[in-house]
Structure 1
Amino acid sequence: MANPKEGGLIKKGQQDGLKLAVSILEENGLPLGLLPLADVIEVGFVKTTGYMWILQTKKVEHTFKLIKKQVSYDTEITGYVEKKRIKKLKGVKAKELMLWPPVNDISVDDPPTGKIQFKSLAGITKTFPEEAFAAVLPHDGG
């Protein structure tokens, strides 16, 4: 089997990696706050296949305050990015009651309705307002 990372653009480190991740989301019409990453080691993207991978030093748990949804991002996140969608996503889980079903497909409605859908392998589909995943700008704590 061919290496899915072959021919990919690779950026190392938090700053460059995050920049690449955000530009991939932006180019594909996805909310920029979808991947709240910390301590990025590497981000890669293969334009021809849409394959993206993210390596970070530790798991990140993030709560999207607007929808009160807790999401866990593993040390390795992979998926295929296309217009308005990430499919075959691995490494992302959203808390549902006491369970953490893996999210494997994210899509933004096209034409835009302001909604974004998350599907899990368990067959659970959740729809949220897209603005819940808007980029969170760093603030000074004030």
Structure 2
Amino acid sequence: MAKEEMAAEREGARVWKGHDEALKKAVSLLEEIGLPGGLLPLVDVDEIGYVEATGYMWITQKKKIEHEFKLAGKLVSYDSNITGYLEKLRIKKLKGVKAKELLLWPPVGEIKVDDPSTGKIHFKSFAGITKTFDVEAFAPGQ
């Protein structure tokens, strides 16, 4: 049943393969919806897919990675499979991303930027915990 559901979500998708092409598309999709392009510092990306009609997006990379956003003082884990729904200034139903909080790794379920802009970005876990940072901390190259 899970494969049928996944196929249905991916129906009508555009797919980009190979690290360089897929990473470039991931950054451009984030920037198109108003999120910082450095939000997904991915390594060895296999493919990215995007369904414009629903906003559904998936990314597959060769292995799980961890990245420290130094300006935010935050260590983030990116699974080999990341999925979510892109909307203006927001990713919702995000799966495959976790942020370290003390000794725990709660999953990040939603990322949102304020409208109108305050220069802040909000990360919400499925447990209801919300953390707010400056958008600049997630610019490309951080």
TM-score range, shorter chain: over 0.9
Pairwise CA distance, 1:78: 0.1
Unaligned runs of 5+ in 1: 138-142
Unaligned runs of 5+ in 2: none
1:52 aligns with 2:57: yes
Q: Percent same amino acid at aligned positions?
A: 67
What amino acid maps onto 1:97 in structure 2? L
Instruction: Report the counterpart of residue 62 of structure 1 in structure 2.
Output: 67
Measure, in 2, the Cα distance between the counterparts of 1:67 and 1:21.
21
TM-score when scaled to structure 1? 0.94
Equivalent pairs counted in the alignment come to: 137
3-state DSSP of counterpart to 1:48: coil
Measure, in 2, the Cα distance between the counterparts of 1:67 and 1:20.
24
Report the aligned-residue RMSD.
Answer: 1.0
TM-score when scaled to structure 2? 0.94
Q: 1:71 aligns with which of 73, 76, 96?
A: 76
Measure, in 1, the Cα distance between the counterparts of 2:125 and 2:79.
16
Q: 2:125 aligns with which of 120, 123, 130?
A: 120
3-state DSSP of counterpart to 1:78: strand
3-state DSSP of counterpart to 1:66: coil
Instruction: Report the counterpart of residue 40 of structure 2 in structure 1.
Output: 35
Instruction: Report the counterpart of residue 103 of structure 1 in structure 2.
Output: 108
Divergent runs of 4+, >6 A: none
3-state DSSP of counterpart to 1:30: coil
